[in-house]
A and B are shown apart, each in its own frame.
Chain A
Amino acid sequence: MPPNKIPDNKDEAPPPAQSSFSQQTSKVRNFFSIPAPVKTLFDKVPVLTYPSNELPQRAPKPARIPSLYVFIKEEDAAAGRPSYNPSCLKWQAFLNIAGVNHRLVPSSNHASPTGVLPFLLPAANSSNSPQETSAPIISNKLIKYAEKLGKTVVETSSMRYEAYQSLIDHRIRSAWLYTLYLEPLNFSAVAYQLYVSPNSSNPLVRASISHQLRSAAEAELLKHTSIIDTDDLYSEADKAFEALSILLGGDSWFFGCSTPTLFDASIFAYTQLLLDDELGWKEKKLCRALRRRANLVQHRERLLVKYFGGS
């Protein structure tokens, strides 16, 4: 029998020790109970729940077309021009290619439910309640969303797809991170103008944001190597462009498709920004490596003319 089991002694008279114990506990219980005058006061004031307030006037109205939240300048958003952030631009281009009509909303990472842009707020549907429509769609669910809208999403099933995608996601991305954030000339000329100065005019805040951006880029690069080897980053990106250029060959779109796919969108996200003279690149090593591949430059032109109005 477990020693802590309480003996069943309801029939017998309780031993004196136990009776004093129960007196003690009832005293404690009395101490914590609500005093009578307070209780009567509470009874006189009934609890009443008011209906929730209306949203303020300036709150965004549910739009009739879906809104894509991206890093973009105010005037570019209105004109539907490309975003200046590669991962935003990739999905922006994807939606344009799939023919999903959307509007662009300038935003920052703090607005996103996942902490990263882009995300899409679907169009308000008159039949649904406002709570249901406002469930945001994060970037990797966008393909499913486009398919649900009945758009044709061409998927490539080449055995080379994964490998060449890894060139973009790792080799080119690493070189991009380095050239944008860690190359001092480019950071002050390009990244500072795009990510730091629009956020605040306070020099302390600006310095802190710059530091955060740079150390985040550095940490990301140091995950895979123990040292940031500049020459290696650039030469690997150069080889990656070479391989992509060979893969594209004389075709209009990658993998011989008749229409562009998500893969075209993801390479466009980098080529567009590297070839955009308005960004004002100062250290152009990566841009030069790309310009040497004429068919990649033409590929970017084609997408720009066809899906972004040639701006």
Chain B
Amino acid sequence: MVLELHVWGPAFSLPSIDPHCLAAIAYLQQAVPRGKWHLIATSDPALSPTNELPALRNGNIWIGGFRNIFHYVAQFSSGEWILDAGLPNQEGADCIAFSSFVESHGQPLIDLSLYVSSQNYTSITRPLYNTIQSFPLPYLTPPSVRAAAKLRTEHLGLSSLDVDTEDVDASREKSIIPESLRRPKATVSSLLAANPETNAQIKLDALATNYFEPLQKIKGQKQYFVSDSQFSSLDCLALGYLSLMLIPELPQPWLAKTMRKKFPDLCTWTGEMRDNVFGGPVDVGDAFLKNGGNSTSAERKGYLPWAAPTHGGAFGVGKVFLSSVADSLPVVGQLRRNTRMRQHGGKTLDDELQSSSWQSITAVGGIIAGLGLAVACMFQQGLIALPSSDEPVKESVGLNPFGDAGAALSVFANQLDAEAQRQRVMERHPNGAPVAEIDVEAGPGGVTVTDNVA
């Protein structure tokens, strides 16, 4: 049986947009012989029992989460496909400790750089999801990933990178202070305020340096992070995180800039490893086998064993869409999340079917509740109104309710009407004799006589 590794699709010329998926790809690429595994850019976390990608499929068994995948691959091959075997004690301990460090301190940096920073998110990251997911899903996935990223980075106090929440331009336009009395625009503080990344520069720099420094020190002059000869699981993880920090070209490149400026060794290592492990730049066409099928591109790349994803057609996409909608609803989403705390293990097909039927029941329930709420909301807002018997009688149109001023204006309005009428008459009799018209109007403000001589 060929193992299938399901991942988030490629981005930034890397094989995946997610650091854990990159780590899993690197691990399988190094540990599992060619031909024993396929790489599939599914971009659908619902496939995995842990609701996250990467997920490994072996027949009916699904394994979610990159650590579980490492364990499963070792088990499956009875200890043959394993990277960390035979590391000496101290190096093994370092591998565990630095894996935890790379993951726990690297995630907030990636979150800030790719998702929280408004400029990077709107111009680069969000559009990327359009290329790796099918139609309605890019409307839901990036905002939910971004919300999770914001939650994770809340404690760092850098929410100012997200400028979507406050509308700067709107507040400027509504100002009642006349133009001449406003402060000139190009003060130093306003220049700084123009770019939240500049404001937070010192803090961001410190965060990034605190992350790269221990990594640089542990690597030293060795070829890999913990060992000089052995590619370990730490290298997979570090490659996943460091390449996502270094390689994306972003409008606010603070992370890559700090890395290039202060830690050139790490940059060189990341670049080399990317070429060795992922086989150089990867684009979306490679992953979906669009350009030229298997013949040319597969041989040119020759590195990653891509296989085309099957989305299960419109029904499959619809199901994923509905379940994501259900997740984002307040109460239903909470209920769905509560069911996610369960023992993990090799799941059989039976379990899978049962749980997926529960999922669809909750999804349908969620949709019905959501639609009900939306309709109720519309009623409240008055967007929809029930036909009621006591609908107010249409009031007489005109300017009468305005009193004296209305009367004066109605004269003007009538005059306009008369003008228009006269025009029409003129058109009807282009060569006719001059027509004299006398209009006598009986308005509320008295009788007004208007005469027009054409």
- Using a CB–CB cutoff of 8 Å, the interface residues on chain A facing chain B are 2, 4, 159-164, 166-167, 169-171, 182, 218, 222-232, 235-236, 239-240, 242-244, 246-247
Contacts and interface: CB of A to CB of B under 8 A. Distances in A.
Given A163-B218, A182-B341, A226 B93 contact: no
A225 B65 contact: yes
Task: Output the residue of B90, B100, B101 with the most chain A CB within 10 A.
Answer: B100
Given A2-B180, A222-B337, A169 B104 contact: yes
A234 to B, nearest CB: 11
Contacts of B103: 170
A218 B337 CA distance: 10
B153 to A, nearest CB: 10
A189 B105 CA distance: 34
Contact of B218 (A159, A182, A223, A239): A159
Interface in B253-312: none
A162 B213 CA distance: 10
B443 interface: no
Given A226-B52, A229-B50, A246-B89, A166 B100 contact: yes
Contacts of B178: 2, 4
B97 A232 contact: no
B344 A229 contact: yes
Given A223-B152, A230-B344, 20 more contacts: A2-B180, A159-B217, A160-B94, A161-B214, A163-B94, A163-B98, A163-B101, A166-B100, A166-B101, A167-B100, A170-B103, A224-B152, A226-B45, A228-B341, A232-B67, A232-B68, A235-B71, A244-B93, A246-B89, A247-B97
A84 B431 CA distance: 106
22 contacts: A161-B214, A163-B97, A163-B98, A163-B100, A166-B101, A166-B105, A167-B100, A170-B100, A182-B341, A224-B104, A226-B51, A227-B51, A227-B342, A227-B344, A228-B341, A235-B71, A242-B96, A243-B93, A243-B96, A246-B90, A246-B92, A246-B93
Contacts of B218: 159-160, 163
Nearest to A165: B101
A163 B219 CA distance: 13
A162 B50 contact: no
Nearest to A162: B214
A231 B214 contact: no
Nearest to B337: A222
A229 B65 contact: yes
Please name the 7 residue pairs, one residue from A and one from B, whose CB atoms are nearest each other, closest first: A246-B93, A159-B217, A243-B93, A163-B101, A243-B96, A163-B97, A228-B341
Nearest to A182: B341
B100 A162 contact: no
A2 B50 CA distance: 65
Interface string B125-155: 0000000000000000000000010011000
A117 to B, nearest CB: 17
Contacts of A236: 67, 100
A73 B107 CA distance: 38
Nearest to B210: A162
Contacts of B98: 163
Helix, strand, loop or mixed for chain A's interface? helix
A227 B52 contact: yes
Interface string B52-65: 10000000000011
Given A2-B178, A167-B96, A226 B104 contact: no
B340 A226 contact: yes
Interface residues of B, number: 40
A159 B98 CA distance: 11
B343 interface: yes
A310 to B, nearest CB: 30
A246 B88 CA distance: 11
Interface of B: 45, 50-52, 64-65, 67-68, 71, 89-90, 92-94, 96-98, 100-101, 103-105, 107, 148, 151-152, 178-180, 210, 214, 217-218, 337, 340-345
Nearest to B179: A2
A227 B217 CA distance: 33
Contacts of A167: 96-97, 100-101
A169 B345 CA distance: 26
A227 B341 contact: yes
B104 A223 contact: no
B67 A230 contact: no
A162 B344 CA distance: 30
B100 to A, nearest CB: 5
Contacts of A242: 93, 96
Task: Output the residue of A166, A224, A236 with the most chain B CB within 10 A.
Answer: A166
Nearest to B89: A246
Contacts of B64: 227
Given A163-B97, A166-B100, A169-B104, A225 B52 contact: yes
Contacts of B151: 223
Contacts of B67: 232, 235-236
B344 A160 contact: no
A166 B343 contact: no
Contacts of B210: 162
A171 B100 contact: yes
Nearest to B178: A2
Contacts of A166: 97, 100-101, 104-105
Task: Output the residue of B97, B152, B342 with the most chain A CB within 10 A.
Answer: B97
B225 to A, nearest CB: 11
A199 B260 CA distance: 54
Given A2-B180, A242-B96, A247-B93, A162 B101 contact: yes
Contacts of A225: 50, 52, 65
A185 B214 CA distance: 40
A227 B339 CA distance: 9
Contacts of A222: 337
A239 B98 CA distance: 12
A160 B148 CA distance: 29
A199 to B, nearest CB: 25
Contacts of B345: 231
A222 to B, nearest CB: 7
A204 to B, nearest CB: 21
